[in-house]
Amino acid sequence: MTTLGAGHQTELDTDVDQPAIHHMEAERPDVDRSDGGLIDWVLSDPQLAAACSAAVDPLEIAARLETHGLSSRVAVDAFGYPDVFAAANVVYAYLPFEHIEASALPSEPMGGPLDLVRGALYALPALFFPVIVSGFSVHPRWWVLPVGLTVAWAISQAVAAIAWALRGLGDERSDSLVAFGSILVNAAVCLGCAVLAWWTLGGSEASVVIAVGIATYIGAAGILLFQQAEWLLAISMLPAAVGSLCATGLLPFTISHRAAAWSVVATTGLVIAVANRHVLSPHWRRPALHRAERERAAKYFLYGLGCGLLTSVYITFAEETNGGGGAMVIAVSPLLLTLGLMEWQLRSFRSRATSALATSPDLTHFGHQVRSAFGRSVGTYVAALAVLSVAGVVLGHALHSSMVPLLLAAVGALGVSFFLALLLGSTGRIDLVLICWAATFAILSAALAGTEIIRSHITPWAGLIALLVSIGAAIVIMAVLARRVLISPLSY
Amino acid sequence: MDIALLSEGTYPYHPGGVSVWCDQLVRGLAPHRFTIHAITGGGDRDPAWELPDNVDALHSIALWGPAPHPKRSVRNSAELRAAFEQLATSMVEPDGEAKFLYALHHLFALSQHTPMVGALRSTESLEVLLESMRQAGPSDRASDSDPEPVTVSDARLALELIEHQLRPLFAPPPEADLCHATANGLSVLLALGAHWSRNTPLVLSEHGIYLRERYLSYGPQAYSAPVRSIMLRFFKRLTWAGYQIANAIAPGSEYNRQWLEANGAAPERIHPIYNGVDAANFITSHSEPDLPTLVWLGRIDPLKDVETLIRSFAKVREALPAARLRIFGSASVENQSYLDRCVALRDSLDLAGSATFEGRAASVVDAYHSGHVVLLTSISEGFPYTLIEAMAAGKATVATDVGGVREATGDAGLIVPPQNPEKTAEACLLLLSDPGLRQTLGHAARTRILSMFTLEQSLAIFGDLYREVTGRISSALVLERNQDQSRRERDARVPPPSRRPGFPELATVPRARTQPTRDIVESGSRS
């Protein structure tokens, strides 16, 4: 509670323990015209006293006095002031200012080891694909992963943007519709793309089914992540995780490849069902979005599309070089194993930046703090990726695969670019990421076209080097932009 | 006449007294055509009110909707920087009111040829505001501790708030013969646009006093002192601007006149106009529920102080275990957490079986008649509908002494201090235990409403005021109306305690556990 200084206290001679209104009534008709009577009355109510002490303007005190019963009428009758404003001026002048800690805005938590577990949820599905392929003895075409991944990535980003916009508007009733709709759209769009790919690039019904399965699974998992229901996703993934680990010999139990493949199917069904657990809720509501929100969702769609296409380009060339061997598994491992670290460092960066906001007295100080946080997060991520890549090179050497270093370099570049894109995207500057993606694809297209013209054939080596160069350019552009954008306090 | 009705956070998206008033006004002045310009939080998509046929259009101005990222050329324009610097410094200079208004004009002029939504979100604006905020603290006040330092986070939050609050200034100005703002504050930004672009006159209604409610909502728990200081200065300057451009200012009660005058309103432009009710819609009823029942009806909002209502009821239950409390009203999305807090308080006081949150009442009259006594526990009010409607329905009322409550009730209801559960409970117990007193007060209440606060009277005054400010009637007729209104104001004004007749029944009030209400003491001491 706010208290007066000792000197002030001795000047007050009225009984502060009397109930407020009784005190006022007891003064009539001989009103107490001393300021002490008024201050005493204010101090008798701890809540009022605290509010008055923290007031930044006498009018704020006038408003508070009125809400506690001291109207102008009472100010005149009980305390002899001309009105409540005069009384408020006395309180403002008499009570010293007391700082009250405002209820802090929910601060952004630091990342931590728990994010590594979350990363496992993103990485584990990579195991499922080979399990399906071997378990059902199917031979999916090379386009299956690129199509499934790209469609799901693009649509999931757009859906997340829409869902966050609706949350921001307090419209949580649209959640069920968004969840159901997004999974349906994922499946339908992927089906269309996969059938098109089948016609033009060859393949089979199995390829189409697997591509649609991948896209639908990713869409549903994305909904669960948006709903912050990671634990539900983890439980739903258990059958496939256990089945896949058993089938690959990583667990001491063995089950048939077919059983493992069915466990993946079961998990896919479970994830889709759990993501739609509110679909029978009677609170269905058609989401109403403004044009700006739709535009924003479109930008996120393009962002996801860019991520998916870059990954697809990598998969396409890597598959050609690798021919399904172990080199690609080694190459993608650093990226998969650091997905959780990416999340950890993103959250830690944001937490450090928002802490810097709350403590920095000026923009220069804030800029220093943020640059340091940026360096720390990017440095940690790149260092972890580098260590794992070196381990990959050693493993690749053991496999006598000359492709591994290049594959690792390309994957590492993808990882760093995705991390920088995440940092920029988390500040709402997805437009800058799109510019970078556009630059990347321009460079990539030019490089591939140049190779085609000069050598009339694009080898996987050339393709991967072109990809590496273009992503390298994107990394440089994003790093420069990030340093400028992230030091603006308005980015948080 | 084409009228632009300017609202903020009320009609037609939310229930509540101001919305009731807007609906009555628009329907009641039906020959006139209305366009509604509703400033919303951003999440309001479907109107809660059915718009009457004389509403030509509804324009929503979202404060918090997404803004396009402005072009760099706009954000970096020297003119924009100068205008914002003018605005920021005017908020901390001792006599910065006129400069503030000039800065708004400057920003409005820029918005006529440049998209401005979001343009103020720049590092340059942030630096300017940070500097102003360093000067805005309560430096004129003694302090036992070091002043709270202004941080970048404070400036960022304040800039965010100001940028969003200014968005109505950048919306297309209303095109009408007259603007009628339902409150001061952000609605005035729309009126300023209309004033500067077409010299459109403005009638400004003030129900609960916009500035006072900002002082209450920007409390120390919600924002840091630097943010509160700059934001309250922003609202203070904006309120002043509204009073300067308004051709007529119509507070909902005489009591609120003092806040207007204290903040720059010219006394000659102030015309208090009481809310009115259509008494035909509020029939009386002689039947009462079997169990002693209290009724509260309104918007679930911190300004309505539902927590005091619940605490008061807990005290009533101590003396009258069979008592019931029926709470009619809904909470907006923003106030959902407040509703949750109220429900938690009710549960913690073990009142879940006796105090019920019943949502929006299907029939307001039935809601009033579902209890013996109607309560109002607000901490800020203009001229509350709950009170005058309940009075029109012939119900005995207990209301807090805020805003125009005394003018509404006169001697026909019990008045208690705000935020005082003991006094409120005591007044409720008094009425619950005395059917004769309930009947006497209910009858007096209805008589008072029928003679002084009818909808017809209220609408006629607004109709005349519209014609006056647009120059469509002679001042003689207005003078005649005003004389009539002044007479009503005089009658409504509550005489000083020494001249009050009081109720003979009140002398028998038992001086129980708690101190009696102020009115009860006054009457008792004189008898």
DSSP A367-427: HHHHHHHHHHHHHHHHHHHHHHHHHHHHHHHHTT-TTHHHHHHHHHHHHHHHHHHHHHHTT
Which pLDDT score, from 0 to 100, does residue B481 have?
57
pLDDT tens digits for B302-326?
889 999 999 999 999 999 999 999 9
**Residue A102 Cα, gap to closest chain B Cα (Å):** 4
Closest chain A residue to B130, measured at CA: A362
Determine which of A45, A52, A60, A434 to mutate to test the interface with B (most B C-beta atoms within 10 Å): A60
* Nearest beta carbon to residue A83 from set B42, B141, B258: B258
Higher pLDDT, residue B300 or B76:
B300
Total CB pairs under 8 A between chain A and B: 179
- The answer to whether the beta carbons of residues B259 and B214 sit under 8 Å apart is no
Which pLDDT score, from 0 to 100, does residue B509 have?
25
Q: Do A22 and B515 touch (CB under 8 A)?
A: yes
Higher pLDDT, residue A204 or B234:
B234
Which pLDDT score, from 0 to 100, does residue A189 have?
96
Which pLDDT score, from 0 to 100, does residue A328 have?
77
Contacts of A290 in chain B (CB under 8 A): 62, 65-66
- Per-residue confidence in pLDDT tens, chain A, 492 aa: 322 233 332 232 333 233 333 333 333 333 445 667 899 989 988 889 999 999 999 999 999 998 888 888 888 888 899 999 999 999 999 998 887 777 666 677 888 888 888 888 888 888 888 888 888 888 888 899 999 999 999 999 999 998 888 887 767 677 778 888 889 999 999 999 999 999 999 888 999 999 999 999 999 999 998 888 889 999 999 999 999 888 877 778 788 889 999 999 999 999 999 998 887 766 666 777 777 788 889 999 999 999 999 999 999 888 877 655 567 778 888 999 999 999 999 999 999 999 999 999 999 999 999 999 999 999 999 999 999 999 888 887 777 667 778 889 999 999 999 999 999 998 888 999 999 999 999 999 999 999 888 888 888 889 999 999 999 999 999 999 988 899 999 888
Residue A180 identity: F
Nearest to B191 by CA among B245, B110, B115: B245
Which pLDDT score, from 0 to 100, does residue A479 have?
92
Q: Do A67 and B216 touch (CB under 8 A)?
A: yes
Residue B492 — pLDDT band, cuts 50, 70, 90? Answer: low
**Residue B31 Cα, gap to closest chain A Cα (Å):** 34
Contacts of A56 in chain B (CB under 8 A): 137-138, 225, 228-229, 232
Q: Do B66 and A293 touch (CB under 8 A)?
A: yes
Residue B82 — pLDDT band, cuts 50, 70, 90? Answer: very high
Bridge partners of residue A70, in order along the sequence: none
Which pLDDT score, from 0 to 100, does residue A349 have?
95
Burial class (CB in 10 A: 0-12, 13-18, 19+), A34: middle
Whole-angstrom CA distances from A438 to A307, A474, B358 are 11, 9, 56
- The answer to whether the beta carbons of residues B57 and B32 sit under 8 Å apart is no
Q: Do A69 and B417 touch (CB under 8 A)?
A: yes
Which pLDDT score, from 0 to 100, does residue A277 have?
86
Q: Do A296 and B66 touch (CB under 8 A)?
A: yes
- The answer to whether the beta carbons of residues A225 and A233 sit under 8 Å apart is yes
Bridge partners of residue A9, in order along the sequence: none
User: What's the alpha-carbon Rg for chain A, to the nearest Å?
Assistant: 32
Contacts of B418 in chain A (CB under 8 A): 66-69
Which pLDDT score, from 0 to 100, does residue A325 have?
59
In angstroms, the CA A147 to CA A121 distance is 21
* Confidence check: pLDDT of B81 > 60: yes
Higher pLDDT, residue B52 or B488:
B52
Token pair in block for residue A118: 């979350």
Which pLDDT score, from 0 to 100, does residue B484 have?
61
pTM: 0.77
Q: Where are the alpha helices (DSSP H) in B397-453?
A: 405-409, 421-432, 435-452
Contacts of A431 in chain B (CB under 8 A): 69
The dihedral built from the CA positions of residue A11, A14, A15 and A20, taken in this order, carries a sign that is negative
pLDDT tens digits for B339-387?
999 999 999 999 999 999 999 899 999 999 999 999 999 988 889 999 9
Strands B2-8, B33-40: parallel, antiparallel or unpaired by DSSP? Answer: parallel
In angstroms, the CA A351 to CA A365 distance is 16
In angstroms, the CA B159 to CA B38 distance is 23
Which pLDDT score, from 0 to 100, does residue B302 have?
87
**Residue B498 Cα, gap to closest chain A Cα (Å):** 10
Nearest to A310 by CA among A480, A473, A483, A131: A473
Which pLDDT score, from 0 to 100, does residue B513 have?
30
